[in-house]
């Protein structure tokens, strides 16, 4: 475990004034020497946190038959093909769904239909479903997504990634941070050389700079 990161996490948790709601702990990345006008250079990653987000992550699944039955045990919502058709006719309901749920999965046979009917709603939010291969139990995929966060830079050099909540152990938050930094630097041409700075903060607390090796 990186002691510098751990010490900064502990300091942020101890020095931030306590609030009457569950605060998130977030990282703010500032990139340098990256041409973010090129979509291929942008960060758009889903990262599985070793200790989870610290708050519920909602997963919806488009499925039918046996896949739908298996998904009901772990997904927050299962959407049948019939319900998909109704969603396509009600754009307000579709937008509410897209905003309410963090991740989507879908049987591979439904992917094209979802793209045509809901792509305009899910696409811009970065929430197009991941495909469930034929005959595969979606439970492990759902459970992984419930520990996943999304890192998206878009065209801006600064972007934020949640790494936990204030009530989590500093050791667990530290290990989540290490995983996020490792994943993001692996996607940059120059690794840490493309990172100008990283700051850590609770939702309402001050920012603390992390030293990145």
Query: What are the start and end residues of each CATH 3.40.50.790 domain in the chain?
Result: 59-145
Note the pLDDT of residue 94. Answer: 92
Alpha-carbon distance of 194 to 101, in angstroms, equals 32
Whether 163 contacts 176, CB under 8 Å: yes
Note the pLDDT of residue 154. Answer: 85
Note the pLDDT of residue 75. Answer: 96
SS3 category, 150:
strand
With a cut of 90, say whether residue 21 has pLDDT above it. Answer: no
Note the pLDDT of residue 184. Answer: 96
Alpha-carbon distance of 90 to 97, in angstroms, equals 11
CATH of 59-145, one of 3.30.200.20, 3.40.50.790, 3.30.1360.180, 3.10.560.10: 3.40.50.790
With a cut of 90, say whether residue 183 has pLDDT above it. Answer: yes
**Looking up tokens 């009600």, which residue turns up?**
90
Its pTM stands at 0.83
What separation in angstroms does the CA of 147 have from each of 32, 48, 134, 162, 164?
Answer: 29, 5, 24, 11, 10
CATH of 3-54+149-210, one of 2.40.50.100, 3.90.76.10, 3.30.70.20, 3.30.190.20: 3.30.190.20
Confidence category of residue 146, pLDDT binned at 50, 70, 90: very high
With a cut of 90, say whether residue 205 has pLDDT above it. Answer: no
């Amino acid at each position: 475990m990186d002691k510098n990161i751990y010490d900064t996490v502990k300091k942020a948790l101890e020095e931030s004034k306590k609030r009457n709601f569950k605060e998130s702990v977030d990282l703010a990345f500032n990139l340098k020497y990256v041409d973010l006008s090129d979509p291929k250079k942008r960060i758009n990653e889903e990262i599985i946190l070793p200790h989870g987000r610290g708050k519920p992550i909602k997963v919806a699944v488009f499925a039918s038959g046996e896949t739908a039955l298996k998904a009901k045990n772990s997904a927050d919502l299962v959407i049948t093909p019939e319900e998909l058709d109704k969603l396509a006719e009600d754009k307000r309901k579709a937008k509410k769904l897209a905003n309410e749920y963090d991740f989507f999965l879908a049987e591979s046979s439904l992917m094209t239909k979802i793209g045509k009917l809901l792509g305009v709603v899910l696409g811009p939010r970065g929430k197009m479903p991941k495909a469930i291969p034929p005959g595969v139990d979606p439970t492990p995929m759902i459970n992984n997504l419930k520990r996943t966060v999304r890192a998206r830079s878009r065209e801006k050099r600064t972007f934020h990634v949640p790494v936990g909540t204030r009530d989590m152990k500093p050791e667990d938050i530290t290990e989540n941070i290490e995983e996020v930094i490792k994943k993001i630097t692996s996607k940059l041409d120059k690794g840490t050389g493309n990172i100008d700075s990283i700051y850590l903060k609770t939702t309402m607390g001050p920012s603390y700079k992390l030293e990145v090796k």
